[in-house]
Amino acid sequence: MKATTWLRDLAATIASDTFAICLLAAVLAAAVLAFGLGAEADLIITILIVGVATAFAETTMRARNDKGNPK
């Protein structure tokens, strides 16, 4: 039962608008480095991984904050 709740929360987090916007920003930064500055592939992959982790953390913290302070 707990695993099902965790999976639902994870799916809701990934499907949220905030996560999509943060992930888009990370992809945009990686694209600028890749095409604009000619960065190496390992640097671009690292930036994308950090961007995904940051987007997930930010979305999770925002969701927890919203649960504690309903509008």
Expressed as residue numbers, the domain containing 34 is: 2-68
Q: How many domains does the chain have?
A: 1
* Res 69: pLDDT: 64
- Residues of the chain where predicted confidence (pLDDT) is lower than 70: 1, 6, 10, 13-16, 68-71
Q: Dihedral, CA atoms, 54, 57, 60, 62, nearest 10 degrees?
A: -70
How far is residue 14's CA from residue 21's CA, in Å, rounded to a whole number? 11
How far is residue 40's CA from residue 21's CA, in Å, rounded to a whole number? 25
How far is residue 49's CA from residue 52's CA, in Å, rounded to a whole number? 5
How far is residue 59's CA from residue 32's CA, in Å, rounded to a whole number? 24
pTM of the full predicted structure?
0.60
How far is residue 18's CA from residue 26's CA, in Å, rounded to a whole number? 13
